[in-house]
Structure 1
Amino acid sequence: MNIVNVINLDRRTDRLYSICQQSKWQGFAIKFWEGIEETPVHKGVCMAHKRIVRHAKERGLDRVIIAEDDLIMSGDGSWDYYIQQMPPVFDLYMGMIYTGEVVNNRIVNGFSGTTLYTVHENFYGKFLEVPDERHIDRALGRDCQKNNYIVPDQYVCYQSGGYSDNGKQICYYDEMMRGKKFYGREMIP
């Protein structure tokens, strides 16, 4: 079974409700992980993501699926599409990215966005080497040329707008979605 490991801060009950609705709608199981609050904020984010990967490595899982609690699936069947499009060989398989260059479904020049992604067991060690003080997505994105980071031909999710615990401000992501294909959704021109 494909369990989605979701990072959530206890006080963000709005996001807890939202991700549970996404799970029910799309038909995926969830395991919740308490977010880690550190200063600077991105340090806690990095530590929370690494904790899940470390757990998967210790248990010998062949892959681990991670999501942040502001995940919104893009349309009916987008979860199934994500799973069906997952290649047999990859280091990271991303449900979407906001920035970065993609050629033939491979991320070749940086990326931002860890809204939904899968880490293959062969990449656990490299993932865990990212220093806690780094932004996890930016740090991983720096090594796109050396690693096999894949996206589906249509993105399957995006981040809900609203208050960002990471950025400490209200954020909306429509501008970053322009021109990208999302499964089950019209492209924003």
Structure 2
Amino acid sequence: MVIAVAVTLVVGLVIGYGIGGARPAVGEEGRYETHTIVALLPLTGALSTFGENSKETVLLAATDVNAWLEREGKDWRLDVKIEDTATDGPTALAKMKAWYGTGVTLFVGPQASGECKELLTFANANKILFISQSSTSPALSIPDDYLFRFCPDDFIQGPAIARVMWDAGIRHVIFSWRGDTWGDGLQKATEES
């Protein structure tokens, strides 16, 4: 998970810089421009433990990227803002809209498929790139949208989980899940395999 967040940030940085991830602002003493990326993370709510890990990873990655930019003599820096989505789709959408209003068009997260689903229509309509490090819902596997995901969706995970169970001799399973975008997709893909 930590590696996925770091890769997400670096890839997002490269893509964001290439497409103008945000309106650049002049950095300290006018020495460089800053490009803002907002991390929409579940610091509270059902996925808060993942959110805290992701927060530390994003901040570490930003520090590393900025150190590299400094060493290379580049004239811009990365500015990462952390926002708590509370593992809640409407909260994530409100925060995306607020930051979009300031010119930000590149986001890392959110982590939950339900949150990503909530953002998708607004992001697609406004060409806002958002990169989820852990969304897996097959319902969000949509060609040409603005959601990038760094882990396989449940169409791949479900059969893999079913195969591992079968190889372990497990022939009967009682499913128990949250009944949301993530759980529904994984349950269905596993059961159908």
TM-score, normalised on structure 1? 0.34
TM-score, normalised on structure 2? 0.34
Larger Rg: 2
Task: Tell me: higher relative CO, structure 1 or 2? Use CA pairs within 8 A at least 6 residues apart.
Answer: 1
- Which is helix-richer, 1 or 2? 2
